[in-house]
Each structure stands twice: as C-alpha cells, then as structure tokens.
Amino acid sequence: MRNLPTLRQLRFLVAVVERRHFSAAAEDCLVSQSTLSAAIQELEDLLGVRLLERSKRKVIPTAIGLDLAARAKKLLRDAEELVEAAEAARDPLSGSLHLGVIPTISPFLAPRIMPVLRAQFPELKVFLREEQSAPLLARLKNGQIDAAILALPYPCDEMETAEFASDPFHVVVPPRHRLANRVTIPPQEMANEDLLLLEDGHCLREHALAACSLEGARRNAGFQGTSLHTLVQMAANGLGVTLVPEMAVAAGILRGLELKAIPLSEAGAARKIALVWRPSSGRKILFRRLAAAFKAELEPDGGAVEPSPSDGAAAYL
C-alpha cells in the first residue's frame, strides 16, 4: 500500500509556501522551526521531489511545490468540512465558530449581536476576526474562517448569503453647513460637496458613492480616512462632509462632536448587511439560524431569512 502524506505535513507545506519563511510559517502553525523543517523534509523524501529551494535568507517554492501546495489547500479545506459535517450532525448549534466582520460593521454591530449569540447559542464559542472584505473572503474560501458578515453589494464569488439588515446612509455635516437644517437630503445635493471618504479597499467607500450616484463627483482628494471615526473627526474640523451608515450613527459615533446626521431622501440609499458562507459548508442550519437571530435583533418585526447564491457579493468574545 502506498504511503500518503499526512494532513500535518500538507498544512506545513502550505504555510511555508504562503509565508516564504520557515520561522514565520512555524509560528503560524504553532510548532518549532525545527519540527516544521523536519516535516517538510519527510514530505519531500516521501514524494521524491524537491518542493522548496532553501537559502539562509529566503525560501522559494519550486514549480511542483507551488502546484502541490495549491492541491494541499483544497485537501485541507475538504478535511475541515468533513469534520464540520460530523459536528453539525451531532449538534449544529455548538462548537467553535470563526466569524469574520468588516471594520465598518464590527464596532457597531458586535455589541448588539454578541449578547444574542450568548443567549440563543450558549454552546457556541465565537471567535471574531476584523478585516476588510477582500481578505475576509480569501480566508473564507481557504477555510480559515467559517462565515463572514459583509456589506453588499460586493462580489462574493458564488458564496451563499443571507441578508439580515438594511443600513441607510446619513450625510454628516457641521451645524452651520448649508444643509444642516434639512430633514432629508437628496443624493444629488452631494455633487457640490467635498466628500471625505475611506481609503481604497473599504467597500463602504464604493457603497457611499453609489448611494448618491457620485462615482465621478468632486471629493476631498487630499484626505482618505482609515476608519469612520477618523472621517467624522475630519468633518467636525471643517474639512468637508461625509456619509455614515445609520448603524454607526445609532451606535453614537457622533457623540461629543458638533455634527448633524441627516438621512438621504432616496429610499434605496443603503447598504445591505449579510452573513456569507461557503456553499459546501456543513453548517448551513447554524448560519440560517444566526442570520434569522440577527435580523430579529436589528429589525424586531423581520421575518425568516433564506440564503441565496451571490453573484455580485482573533479575539474570543
């Protein structure tokens, strides 16, 4: 019978290929560098091919090393999902859940949903990871997280999604701004303003522009924020106006600042908040239940949530 590589050896190979460094890969895998290096050597001996080119300063994967690392990632994902399926069969509402959340949602949503999780899913141990949409989706595809909370529309590469909230945009202005006394603001009014926006990579930037059909509009080119908190501080200092989702306004992001938040008059000027997971996951029952619980918390009269394929879009707590 042919000897086969172990999942441990394959996990080490993937880590080294991704990090291009033995020490960093060993740290990621929570083993010593000598242990990892010995396992890679055993794998090379077993397969009879050289997977890595080694030097004192760097590690370069060979062509076959790159190919096998890509195949190994798929095998590791399949193995994780095999375990998930068994766990879900025993108790779909228990175990560990690694949940990604984007930075423009996490600080405003987490304080509301974590008590819901503790109350309704007491056997579930939740680990949150805050990161931008693109790297979160990469982690989701690679099996490093189980699900993610994202803002749509966003291209989700055929992941399954369950929307559980609509998050309308508000225009944030100083109290003496020309728009400060409006009850609502038509989106077209924003074309004449210097907009303070998040830097590239934050999907909220594109959502805010799309909400006002402002893809080509004037904006403050000299400043790009790294967070919503920075944007409102800049608006308070007279550098321009910004667009902030209602979720952040309700959470008190303007507290202590001389600013007014005025909703856009366009009914569709909102982002959608959704739970996203792999179609092959064995924990769909859990994800549907989570989305329904989040919807009930955020919209008390909301109904059941059903997932749909999307073709568009750690700290322990």
Q: Does residue 150 lie in a domain region? A: yes
State the average pLDDT for the chain: 85
Range of the domain at 124: 95-317
The tens digit of pLDDT for each residue in 246-304 reads: 999 999 999 999 999 999 887 778 899 999 999 988 889 999 999 999 999 987 554 44
Residue 77 shares a structural domain with residue 184: no
| pTM of structure | 0.70
Higher-scoring residue by pLDDT: 237, 194: 237
Q: Give the lowest-confidence range in 66-70, 156-160, 288-292, 293-297.
A: 156-160
- Check residue 198 and give its pLDDT: 83
Beta-ladder partners of 225: 198
Residue 132 shares a structural domain with residue 253: yes
Residue 82 shares a structural domain with residue 134: no
Q: Which CATH number goes with the domain that contains 35? A: 1.10.10.10
**What is the mean predicted confidence (pLDDT) over 102-125?**
92
pLDDT for residue 46 is more than 90 = yes
- Check residue 301 and give its pLDDT: 52
**What is the mean predicted confidence (pLDDT) over 28-51?**
94
Q: Which CATH number goes with the domain that contains 167? A: 3.40.190.290
The one-letter code for the residue type at 96 is: S
Which of 53, 86, 119 corresponds to the end of one domain? 86
- Check residue 314 and give its pLDDT: 38
Residue 269 shares a structural domain with residue 305: yes
- Check residue 300 and give its pLDDT: 54
Residue 127 shares a structural domain with residue 272: yes
- Check residue 90 and give its pLDDT: 74
- Check residue 215 and give its pLDDT: 55
- Check residue 136 and give its pLDDT: 94
pLDDT for residue 306 is more than 80 = no
Q: Give the lowest-confidence range in 2-6, 46-50, 87-91, 200-204.
A: 87-91
pLDDT for residue 127 is more than 90 = yes
Which of 24, 58, 86 corresponds to the end of one domain? 86
Residue 258 shares a structural domain with residue 129: yes
The tens digit of pLDDT for each residue in 192-225 reads: 788 888 877 678 888 877 776 665 444 444 456 7
- Check residue 317 and give its pLDDT: 35
Residue 149 shares a structural domain with residue 298: yes
Residue 113 shares a structural domain with residue 194: yes
Q: Give the lowest-confidence range in 58-72, 113-127, 215-229, 291-305.
A: 215-229
**What is the mean predicted confidence (pLDDT) over 71-98?**
82
Residue 303 shares a structural domain with residue 155: yes
